[in-house]
């Protein structure tokens, strides 16, 4: 863990401490008590002398933000209680595929929750993983009005996250999994919010096996990535728990994609491979982000993907779809991410905590005319 450092090297030390305390006052950190910590506590927290603390407090007193009250301590003045500024978060993206569905969904949720909090979002892109690229972003963030925290979205690797943790002295949280590995580190490099991909696949396969489907086609993810491996292991575990044979020929591994067009094209090829087998699947589990491709394929190839084939999507977002879906809720992911930033801001250290979001089953829209009884049975099976 790395302690946050308020020193920037700009101006005298008491002036930098005054800026830090002013920022805390503006963010509302001392609103509940109405008082700042005592001089001795401030000196210990920031590892400075009592004289430096007195100089910083005198600066704030001249700005009419605080006053000393005999026997009580350093009290916020009414003017300080009114100056709380809008909270600012930096959203830092890296190596995201063009028009990434994950990125679009998460940005939408971040914007919605920022509005409710009267907060502002500042969007930045990390151009590369070199020291120069990281320093460029660091300088850009330092020019801001001291952001409350940084939300990371994109394809970050563990080595890159370690560099960012060392270079960026602000609260950090990653939404989603790390890339470039098929196993999570025992301890999170930075605070992290993830969906439970193993559970998504397990629930989907379990639901179909409970309904007596045996030839279950699956289009999973790349085995060299965490989420792809989790899908595969969740699928096998569900078959094992039902004492059913896992049929390898029905499980296909999709590669990573850089754009939706490439993903859709590869997806169609895998559908053809699955359903042109001598004994094609009688059910299909697929990435719900590609549900439009499924619908198009079914319209163009009704003899392959006919209406009797059961379809279930697995996804990272819980929007209501034309097909049944098991997914994590992006709203909950963002809430947990912002809560982790609050925690790091309060503790003034990189917490490195990992939180998992539970999954939910979402039946298809009513336009699909699937009976309510069927949907209820599916939900009860999952419960």
Residue 6 within any structural domain of the chain: no
The predicted pLDDT at position 365 comes to: 59
Sheet of 35-36, strand order: 35-36, 73-76, 66-69
Residues 190 and 203 in one domain: no
Residues 170 and 226 in one domain: no
pLDDT tens digits, 235-255: 999 999 999 999 999 999 887
Residue 292 within any structural domain of the chain: yes
Residues 205 and 176 in one domain: no
Whole-number Å distance between alpha carbons of 343 and 52: 27
Residues 22 and 94 in one domain: no
**Cβ contact 103:153 at 8 Å:** yes
**Please, what's the b/e burial string for 7-20 (b: 16 or more CB within 10 A of its CB; e: otherwise)?**
eeeeeebbebbbbb
Q: How far are the Cα atoms of 27, 56, 219 from residue 148, in angstroms, in the given order?
A: 8, 21, 40
At 200, list the tokens: 């998504």
DSSP state letter for 137: H
Residue 2 within any structural domain of the chain: no
Backbone angles phi, psi at 71, to 5 degrees: 85, -5
Nearest to 3 by CA among 229, 117, 170: 170
pLDDT tens digits, 90-115: 999 998 876 677 888 888 899 988 88
Instruction: Report the 3 state secondary structure along 227-282.
Output: HHHHHHHHHHHHHHHCCCCCCHHHEEECCCCCCHHHHHHHHHHHHHHHHCCCCCCC
The predicted pLDDT at position 376 comes to: 43
The predicted pLDDT at position 257 comes to: 62
Nearest to 337 by CA among 359, 319, 317, 355: 355
Helices (H) and strands (E) in the chain, counts: 13, 15
Whole-number Å distance between alpha carbons of 3 and 47: 11
Residues 246 and 369 in one domain: yes
Whole-number Å distance between alpha carbons of 163 and 189: 10
Last residue of a domain, one of 26, 60, 81: 81
Residues 303 and 209 in one domain: yes
What is the reported pTM?
A: 0.70
**Please, what's the b/e burial string for 324-338 (b: 16 or more CB within 10 A of its CB; e: otherwise)?**
bbbbbbbbbbbebbb
Residue 149 belongs to domain spanning: 88-195+330-358
Query: 342 Cβ partners below 8 Å, 6+ apart?
Result: none
Residues 315 and 205 in one domain: yes
DSSP state letter for 77: P
Residues 351 and 313 in one domain: no
The predicted pLDDT at position 81 comes to: 58
CATH number, domain of 23, equals 1.10.10.10
CATH number, domain of 201, equals 3.40.50.2300
Residues 150 and 259 in one domain: no
Residue 338 within any structural domain of the chain: yes
Whole-number Å distance between alpha carbons of 159 and 165: 10
Residue 48 within any structural domain of the chain: yes
Residues 220 and 323 in one domain: yes
At 69, list the tokens: 């009250």
Whole-number Å distance between alpha carbons of 323 and 87: 39
Residues 319 and 348 in one domain: no
Q: How far are the Cα atoms of 10, 12, 33, 169 from residue 15, in angstroms, in the given order?
A: 9, 5, 24, 19
**Cβ contact 334:113 at 8 Å:** yes
Residue 1 within any structural domain of the chain: no
Q: How many other CB atoms are there within 10 angstroms of residue 352's CB atom?
A: 18
Number of structural domains in the chain:
3
Hey, is 150 helix, strand or coil? strand
The predicted pLDDT at position 144 comes to: 79
| Residue ranges of the chain whose pLDDT lies below 50 | 1-4, 8-9, 320, 366-383
The predicted pLDDT at position 3 comes to: 39
Last residue of a domain, one of 30, 49, 81: 81
Q: Are strands 251-253 and 354-357 parallel, antiparallel or unpaired?
A: unpaired
Last residue of a domain, one of 48, 81, 114: 81
Residue 270 within any structural domain of the chain: yes
First to last CA, the chain: 39
Residue 4 within any structural domain of the chain: no
Nearest to 294 by CA among 317, 315, 271: 271
Residues 241 and 110 in one domain: no
């Amino acid at each position: 863990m790395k302690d946050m450092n308020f020193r920037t090297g700009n101006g005298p030390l008491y002036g930098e401490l005054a800026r830090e305390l002013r920022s805390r006052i503006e963010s509302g950190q001392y609103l509940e008590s109405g008082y700042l910590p005592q001089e001795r506590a401030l000196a210990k927290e920031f590892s400075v002398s009592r004289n430096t603390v007195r100089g910083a407090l005198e600066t704030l007193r001249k700005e009419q933000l605080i006053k000393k009250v005999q026997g009580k301590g350093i009290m916020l003045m009414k003017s300080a209680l009114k100056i709380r500024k809008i909270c600012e978060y930096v959203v830092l993206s890296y190596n995201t595929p063009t028009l990434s569905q994950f990125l679009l969904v998460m940005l939408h949720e971040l914007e919605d929750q920022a509005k409710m909090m009267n907060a502002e979002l500042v969007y930045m892109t990390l151009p590369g993983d070199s020291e120069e690229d990281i320093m460029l972003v660091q300088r850009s963030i330092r020019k801001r009005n001291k952001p409350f925290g940084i939300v990371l979205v994109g394809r970050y690797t563990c080595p890159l996250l370690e560099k960012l943790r060392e270079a960026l002295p602000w609260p950090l949280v990653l939404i989603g999994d790390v890339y470039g590995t098929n196993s999570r580190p025992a301890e999170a490099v930075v605070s992290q919010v993830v969906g439970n991909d193993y559970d998504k696949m397990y629930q989907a396969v379990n639901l179909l096996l409970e309904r007596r489907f045996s030839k279950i086609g699956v289009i999973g993810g790349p085995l060299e990535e965490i989420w792809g491996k989790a899908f595969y292991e969740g699928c096998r575990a569900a078959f094992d728990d039902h004492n059913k044979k896992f049929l390898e020929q029905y499980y296909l591994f999709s590669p990573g994609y850089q754009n939706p067009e490439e993903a859709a094209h590869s997806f169609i090829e895998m559908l053809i491979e699955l359903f042109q087998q001598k004994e094609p699947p009688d059910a299909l589990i697929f990435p719900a982000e590609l549900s439009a491709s499924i619908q198009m394929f079914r319209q163009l190839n009704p003899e392959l993907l006919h209406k009797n084939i059961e379809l279930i999507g697995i996804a990272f977002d819980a929007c209501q779809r034309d097909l049944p879906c098991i997914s994590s809720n992006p709203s909950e992911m963002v809430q947990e991410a912002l809560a982790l930033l609050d925690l790091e801001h309060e503790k003034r250290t990189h917490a490195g905590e990992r939180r998992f979001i539970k999954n939910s089953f979402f039946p298809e829209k009513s336009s699909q005319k699937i009976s309510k009884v069927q949907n209820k049975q599916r939900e009860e099976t999952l419960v």
